[in-house]
Structure 1
Amino acid sequence: MTTSVAGRTPRRNDPHRRERIVEACLDVISDVGVAGTTHRRVASAADVPLGSMTYHFDGMDDLLRAAFTLFADRVAARMEHRLRDAATAEEAQAAVVAAVLHDVVGTHGDLVLTHELYTLAARRPEYRTITRTWMARSRAALEQHVDPATARMLDALVEGLTIHRALDPDPPGEAFVVEAVGRVLGQDHEPER
């Protein structure tokens, strides 16, 4: 049993508090956007004292950079994992299709986080490091299977298709995604009718 000094609550051992705050920040951004994200909301979502915010982060920008870096890292890692396991050109094409269908914008929260990050990067150059790193990792994963120019085209196609699949009232289906990826890869396909 831990004893406390005259009325003081024993200090909680919480070695993963910073990580929990970052995760909570992603949840808050997903719910209310960057504009609605405050230290108070994040602290409440992370179930930590408000003072933890300034102890672990130098301000909201520091927290946002940590959160968006974690998010981008996770999405890039999924792409790297899929493409690392592809041994043939057909498997690489299937991996790119799977990334579009399942990985880049896997949930509505991922969609919101992606667009919030893009908006920040468009407005504030210091956030472009996160998007550039994400793009570089995606392209490097693709370059295991195609030349750099094709990797860049595929990377842009993946982002564009995921946005269209998330926001279009009549989103492109799997057959369309397969055909689009195949066309960039120079494979002959019968057009979807």
Structure 2
Amino acid sequence: MARRYDPERRTRIIDAALRVIAADGIAGLSHRTVAAEADVPLGSTTYHFGSLDELLTAALRRSNENFAQALRDSEVGGAVPSGEGTGAGLADELTRVLGEWFAGERGAIELEYELYLAALRRPALRPVAAEWTESAVEVLSARTDPATARALVALMDGVCLQVLLTGSAFDAAYTREMLTRVVEGCA
């Protein structure tokens, strides 16, 4: 029997891994569960990803694209709008982006942070987690200096983790105030 050409198989496997992790956590991830979810032979998952760390790395990289793209698509990644101060304008825009992110499906945010935090125990994921931080800092550096950009990313991570871990609602006013303090305090 001839092999079937399936150029999208790798992508489908990564998407299936994200669905498995969203449903069952990283503990539920295996080549077998991903193959079943992707409706591909088990050998396909091991062909494309020799280890679970390779599969998790690809899943984290895909997941990272979401928030970084949201930052790039917002006014955060562009020049300061005319007549708008850097501090308040940047804080407002970041608050808006976070608010929209939390207004979406909470499970997607939980998935992204579960993968991001998996790097604590899986050293292979650390460079990909660092890529996310660096891409966010790069986008924010268009509006502020790199040190302030890094502080803003750290603050946004902290706010997101607190909301996720406490189950509380996203507090836009508090977030805007804290972001403004960082931007204006570093100016």
For normalisation by structure 2, the TM-score amounts to: 0.83
Q: In the superposition, relative to structure 1, how do residues 70 and 172 fare at CA in structure 2: closer, same or farther (>3 Å)?
A: closer
Q: What is the aligned partner in structure 2 of residue 87 from structure 1?
A: 80
| 1:24-173 alignment runs, 5 A limit | 24-82=16-74, 83-85=76-78, 87-88=80-81, 89=86, 90-103=88-101, 106-173=104-171
Query: Greater RCO between the two (CA within 8 Å, min separation 6)?
Result: 2
Deviations 1:119-159 (A, max 9, x none): 32112222110111110111111111111221111111111
Q: CA RMSD in A?
A: 2.3
Shift of residue 106 of structure 1? Answer: 4.4
Q: Are the aligned partners of 2:137 and 2:149 in contact in 1 as well (CA < 8 Å)? A: yes
Q: Which runs of 5+ in 2 are unaligned?
A: none
Instruction: Give the whole-Å Cα distance in 1 for the aligned partners of 2:103 and 2:158.
Output: 11
In structure 1, give the amino acid aligned to 2:28: G
Instruction: Please identify the structure whose Cα radius of gyration is greater.
Output: 1
Question: What TM-score results when the alignment is normalised by the length of structure 1?
Answer: 0.81
Q: How many residues align?
A: 179
- Structure 1 or 2: larger helix share? 2
Deviates more, 1:39-48 or 1:82-91: 82-91
How many Å apart are 1:104 and its aligned residue?
A: 7.5
Cα 1:119–1:182 change in 2 (3 A) is: closer
